[in-house]
Amino acid sequence: MSDEQKKLLEQKLWDIANILRGKISANQFQDYILGFIFYKYLSEKLEKKANEFLKPDNLIFAEIDENSEQGKEILGALKEATVDALGYFLKPSELFGTLAKKGNAKVINEDDEEQIQSTFILEDLANVLNSIEKSTMGSESQDDFDNLFYDIDLNSTKIGRTTKDRNDVIVKILTALDAIDFDLDNTEGDVLGDAYEYLIAQFAAGAGQKAGEFYTPQQVSTILAKIVTTKKSKLKSVYDPTCGSGSLLLRVAKEVDEVGHFYGQEQNRTTYNLARMNMILHDVNYHKFDIKHEDTLERPQHEGLKFEAIVANPPFSAKWSANPLFSNEERFSQYGRLAPGTKADFAFIQHMVHHLDDNGIMACIAPHGVLFRGAAEGHIRKFLIEDRNYIDAIIGLPANLFYGTSIPTCILVFKKCKENPDDILFIDASNDFEKVKNQNVLREEHINKIVETYQSRAVIEKYSNTATLEQVKANDYNLNIPRYVNTFEEAKSIDVNAIAEKLQSIDSKMETVDKTIASFCAELNIKTPF
């Protein structure tokens, strides 16, 4: 698929999303649109796989009679095979295309003319979505599909005042989606996955304050992904403890040939569902991902596991319990202090460091306060530098990159086995961006400069510098970037004598003007204004 065709697909999907624009907010109508796209994908993926299984018997999945004994026997065998291969099952009558055509039925009127009439399908649709989840019960994929369509409320008055209104809207969406070819046979690129990512980004842009809960801007994700995959073509595992829609995990996969397993945890249920859909839709088999729905700090779900790559964009300065009992937990006990309850930034960092493998790289986004705030945070920062020497680099980013906040942020890079144990690299990329409307954007050249500087550890005037651990210690473990990267611009020298001469010239001209005005006033027999 060409770039032009890809953009056309994105535009078609966005046009379909706009069917609900004005009815409900962006972060609500994403549940319907993304959910229905996912249902269509599951349907087409299942039909394709089922036909592969049936090919030796010259059978076509959509033509199987579900009510005949032979049909039931065939579908029973198919269910077992497809649940094992894909993690779920659908009957021919439950396929997306079948339901869309039923909702958009053709009828013959009294004048023998063919017309399109919307048929009631909301109940059928609810049953199908429920059936997808039920098909996984007792299988390995059950957790990955459990309550996956929970946020699609077909009875919400927000999408239509009456049942008929709601049905008409849903039928319109399904009909428009049914007309789009997802091109699942295209093995050259993840076309649908990329289009899905495009929609997630558009919803994030429209969701304002809520956007940070589920989406990290793609250009920032790219930097994190390129950093944690430095010098690696394969990863055993990648982990995101605040995974949102899963986009950051998937971005890491684009930088290497293979990722063995994806791990994530997400507190928000709706976003957790979106992350699982995103994984499956990007053709990540259910065997290869483990996304959990829980509060990462209070109830971590991946205890005992170490990860080769860790990426994260935790909520900035979020509150957490800071329960004293955590002082005895392995994630926090060695530090001697807990992150304050009003600012969980270092609690997330401690959690991630705990899960980082010895050969791994961790890169996370944080507000600048983690670099210099004192008290407990200063104590934790000192421990990470002086006792563990895990901090590899600090990268300052421009302000106003993220949806919902305009504050400047930074990337912290951690390694347990540093190739350069005697120093920390500082990069000040805060001035490299392009302003697009109300948002600052990193272009490809900005991203490449950051990544290349990190990987080469180059010292660039007014951009990057390495500081020895002794220098950091002398600054009382304050990591504020301007302490180490001098971006000071000298003021232009001023020729005082030239300015004095200019002022004298102005005074002389003013004196001449005053005399002229005075003569005019005398002629007019009026007072002078001075």
Average pLDDT over residues 401-405: 78
Predicted TM-score (pTM) of the model is: 0.86
Rounded CA Rg of the chain: 30
- For residue 120, pLDDT over 80 is answered with yes
Name the percent of the chain lying above pLDDT 90.
67
Among candidate residues 316, 434, 423, 419, the one with its CA nearest the CA of residue 364? 316
Per-domain residue ranges of the chain: 3-189, 216-483, 495-530
Buried b (16+ CB within 10 A) or exposed e, 37-59: bbbbbbbbbbbebbeebbeeeee
Superfamily of domain 216-483: Vaccinia Virus protein VP39 (3.40.50.150)
- For residue 361, pLDDT over 80 is answered with yes
Q: How far apart are CA 383 and CA 337, in angstroms?
A: 10
Q: How far apart are CA 478 and CA 474, in angstroms?
A: 9
Mean pLDDT computed over every residue of the chain: 89
Q: What is the predicted pLDDT for the residue at 322?
A: 97
Q: What is the predicted pLDDT for the residue at 212?
A: 45
Is the separation of the CB atoms in 481 and 410 below 8 Å?
yes
- For residue 261, pLDDT over 80 is answered with yes
Average pLDDT over residues 477-488: 92
Region of poorest pLDDT, from 144-153, 281-290, 401-410, 484-493 = 484-493
Name the percent of the chain lying above pLDDT 70.
91
Our CA angle for 206, 211, 213, nearest 5°, is 160
Instruction: Report the run of H or E that residue 199 belongs to, with start and end.
Output: helix 191-207
Reduce the DSSP state of residue 39 to 3 states and report it: helix
- For residue 117, pLDDT over 50 is answered with yes
Angstrom CA distances, 319 to 2, 242, 355, 363, 365, stand at 46, 14, 21, 21, 17
Q: What is the predicted pLDDT for the residue at 10?
A: 83
Buried b (16+ CB within 10 A) or exposed e, 282-313: bebebeebbbbbeebbeebbbeeebbbbbbbb
Q: What is the predicted pLDDT for the residue at 209?
A: 45
* Most confident option among 7-11, 100-104, 386-390: 386-390
Q: What is the predicted pLDDT for the residue at 510?
A: 86
- For residue 47, pLDDT over 60 is answered with yes
Hey, which CATH number is domain 3-189, 1.20.1260.30, 3.30.300.30, 1.20.1440.230, 3.40.50.720?
1.20.1260.30
Average pLDDT over residues 408-433: 96
pLDDT interval class at 210 (50, 70, 90):
very low
Give 184 or 346, the one with higher predicted confidence: 346
Average pLDDT over residues 173-199: 79
CB neighbours of residue 202 within 10 Å = 17
- For residue 40, pLDDT over 90 is answered with yes
pLDDT interval class at 108 (50, 70, 90):
very low
Residue 226, burial from CB neighbour count under 10 angstroms (0-12, 13-18, 19+): buried
Average pLDDT over residues 407-413: 94
Nearest 5°: phi and psi at 215?
A: -145, 130
Average pLDDT over residues 411-432: 96
Region of poorest pLDDT, from 91-105, 115-129, 301-315, 448-462 = 115-129
Q: Backbone dihedral region of 377: left (phi > 0), alpha (psi from -120 to 50 degrees) or beta?
A: alpha
pLDDT interval class at 211 (50, 70, 90):
very low
Q: How far apart are CA 161 and CA 225, in angstroms?
A: 45
CB neighbours of residue 218 within 10 Å = 18
Strands (E), 214-326: 234-240, 258-266, 289-293, 307-312
Is the separation of the CB atoms in 413 and 227 below 8 Å?
yes
Q: What is the predicted pLDDT for the residue at 3?
A: 72
Average pLDDT over residues 290-314: 97
Residue type for 40, please?
A: K
pLDDT in tens, 512-530: 888 888 888 888 788 887 6
- For residue 109, pLDDT over 70 is answered with no
